[in-house]
Amino acid sequence: MNLRFLTNFLLICFILLITSCSQSPVFKEYQTLSRIGDQQEWATKNWNDDGWDKRKPIVEAGEVYWTRTPIDILKAPEPLHPYAIRPYIYGEYEVFWDGVLIGKNGNPGQEVLLGPEGKMLTTFILPTHLSQEGEHILAIRSSLYYFPDHVGMRVDIANYDDLLTDRLIETSYMHIFAGAFLIASIYFLFLFLSDKKEYPMLIFSISCFLFFVLNLTEFITTYVPIHYAYHHIRLEIKGVLMFSISFLIPLYLSKQFPIPKRKISLLIYAGILLFIFFIKHNFIDFTTRNMALSMWFFSFGITIFGIYKKMKGARLVMLTLFLALLVNFIIPFEVGIFIGFSIILLGMFYLLSLRIKEQRLAYQTSLVQSTRLRLELLKKNIQPHFLMNTLTSLIDWIEESPKKGVLFIEALAKEFDLLNQIENQTLIPISQEIALCRTHLEIMEYRKEINYSWQEENIDIHEKIPPGILHTLLENGITHSLPQEDNSIKFKLIFESNTTYKLYTFLTFASVSTEKMKDREDGTGLKYVKARLAESYQEHWKFSSEPTDHGWKNTIKIYS
């Protein structure tokens, strides 16, 4: 699913690439000359501007200055499809084309008086009769009250419709991505809220959201007029967003591919980002480029580690990193950075889906395991060795001593009853487990004619324990032990607890059997005990089972 999404995405990128390169320019821009001062005649086409300055003028706040740029129109517009011009200039300005005022953006020279007016991007139609092939003069009268050091001049001339719609089309494409990432962000936020331990989901959700906002911030100028005085706010926001995303992506990857010394590495990385963020802070392009680059390299490092350790998904993330790099080589940075980020986020998305799949499988396995344990508990009393031996003894008791036979049946009924009660639970009161053990001993006494005794020490009847585990240890004790000289086997359960753990010690006092105990080490009985402990206490338990001088010793330690 993810891969198909990726291919579609790449297709769209490709189309974007084609459309952005498809038109050849219709004009040629020559050296801009500038002069501080204000004379209406400077607009005229044939004004002699020999003494004008080739460098950017150094103006004071609000001071009016003029620029003159010779422009060659290479191809006249088709009839009824006029050309338009779009200056990329900081400040408020008036635009003269061949001496004719064709539009204005704000009130140059009167910014304080009239307040901020105009917007960042404006488009002016070139009169058809003035856009014939040949040389023309673009004169701009402007003032820069708010950021006098941001003088700059660049224009774009193209078919009026194209000039307006191209950026709209680009914006709409980018906003489709923005929307997708907003939804992804909300979805993963909800997933995180339902399981608050899943921090990668939260990081991914935040990354998606930040990416959504970054996208809006970048393309908002297309449809929301912003005065140049407030433009820096947008740039600052962009910078902060870039900073956060550049930090979050490696943070996320480091969670998925845990690198050694993770915290220190991330701290150092954050330091590098901050350094980049604050040096040359006014050159926002420089800052974003460098932050994006550092992010790429750091992510690359983490992913290399992931691949080295053969972690799932690392190869695909590496692929997305390279794709992102490739895209940034062939597409201008302003768009490339978004596509690059999108690809990387998709890689992260893929990782999350892998993890979710793993969790689902683990959950299913745990369900199967629980069912299996339940069946194993149920099977205890119907497995042939127990049942048939019991029935054989029972027949004998009934034939020999019917009254005792009845008592035997009652004990058997009691054990079946107790097992029924605990059969579908994962934790039962210790008192119930002890009752089960005592009944079992009663039955075994009828069968084996050995004097079994049961002792307890320090038992807290409010404690809970997985069902059947003491019972299993007791069964082992009975099966593998021979009676002492007085024909008795003694079992003792001791409970200790403190703030860090609870400890059950289960002792068997018997004469040590000379038989080899091949399957004792990890026989099905002990497997059952361990599986039950893992089911209820995950990794917070310890179990041991070993022979002693007096018989056998089992310990169950449960950490709190």
- CA distances to 248, 322, 428, 458, 552 from 497, in Å: 44, 56, 18, 10, 22
- Nearest CA to 300 out of 335, 340, 338, 267 is that of 340
Facing residues of 138 across strands? Answer: 69, 97
Q: How many CA atoms lie within 13 A of 275 on its CB side?
A: 7
- Nearest CA to 20 out of 191, 193, 173 is that of 173
Using CA atoms of 33, 39, 45, 46 in order, give the dihedral in degrees to the nearest 10: -90
Min. distance of Cβ 481 from other proteins in angstroms? 8
DSSP class per residue in 15-46: HHHHHHHSPPPSEEE---EEEES--GGGGSTT
Min. distance of Cβ 498 from other proteins in angstroms? 35
Q: Which phi and psi angles does 225 have, rounded to 5°? A: -70, 125
Min. distance of Cβ 518 from other proteins in angstroms? 7
> Cα(107)–Cα(109) distance, rounded to whole angstroms?
6
- Nearest CA to 433 out of 504, 379, 362, 364 is that of 504
Residues making up the chain, counted from first to last: 560
**Site residues, other proteins (CB under 8 A):** 384-385, 387-389, 391-397, 446-450, 476, 479-480, 482, 513-520, 523
290/545 with CB nearer other proteins: 545
Min. distance of Cβ 467 from other proteins in angstroms? 22
Min. distance of Cβ 385 from other proteins in angstroms? 5
Min. distance of Cβ 544 from other proteins in angstroms? 19
448/464 with CB nearer other proteins: 448
Min. distance of Cβ 384 from other proteins in angstroms? 5
Min. distance of Cβ 391 from other proteins in angstroms? 4
423/475 with CB nearer other proteins: 475
46/514 with CB nearer other proteins: 514
Ranges of beta strands (E only) in 257-339 are none
Alpha-carbon dihedral sign for residues 297, 349, 277, 223: positive
359/487 with CB nearer other proteins: 487
392/455 with CB nearer other proteins: 392
Give Cα 156 distance to the centre of its chain: 41
Facing residues of 551 across strands? Answer: 509, 548
436/526 with CB nearer other proteins: 526
Residues contacting residue 522 through CB under 8 Å, at least 6 positions apart: none
Please give the single-letter amino acid code of residue 560: S
Q: Are 341 and 299 in contact (CB under 8 A)?
A: no
Look up residue 519 and give its two tokens: 């399957």
132/389 with CB nearer other proteins: 389
370/451 with CB nearer other proteins: 451
Locus of tokens 């004469």: 511
> Cα(317)–Cα(297) distance, rounded to whole angstroms?
13
Facing residues of 465 across strands? Answer: 428
> Cα(264)–Cα(379) distance, rounded to whole angstroms?
53
447/492 with CB nearer other proteins: 447
* H-assigned helices in 27-147: 111-114
Min. distance of Cβ 525 from other proteins in angstroms? 9
Min. distance of Cβ 267 from other proteins in angstroms? 57
260/384 with CB nearer other proteins: 384
Q: Which phi and psi angles does 547 have, rounded to 5°? A: -75, 150
Please give the single-letter amino acid code of residue 143: S
Min. distance of Cβ 549 from other proteins in angstroms? 19
Facing residues of 505 across strands? Answer: 494, 555
- Nearest CA to 441 out of 471, 396, 481 is that of 471
28/527 with CB nearer other proteins: 527
Min. distance of Cβ 527 from other proteins in angstroms? 14
194/514 with CB nearer other proteins: 514
74/407 with CB nearer other proteins: 407
476: helix, strand or coil: helix
Locus of tokens 């299913």: 364
Q: Are 41 and 47 in contact (CB under 8 A)?
A: yes
Min. distance of Cβ 475 from other proteins in angstroms? 9
Q: Which phi and psi angles does 144 have, rounded to 5°? A: -135, 90
Min. distance of Cβ 429 from other proteins in angstroms? 29
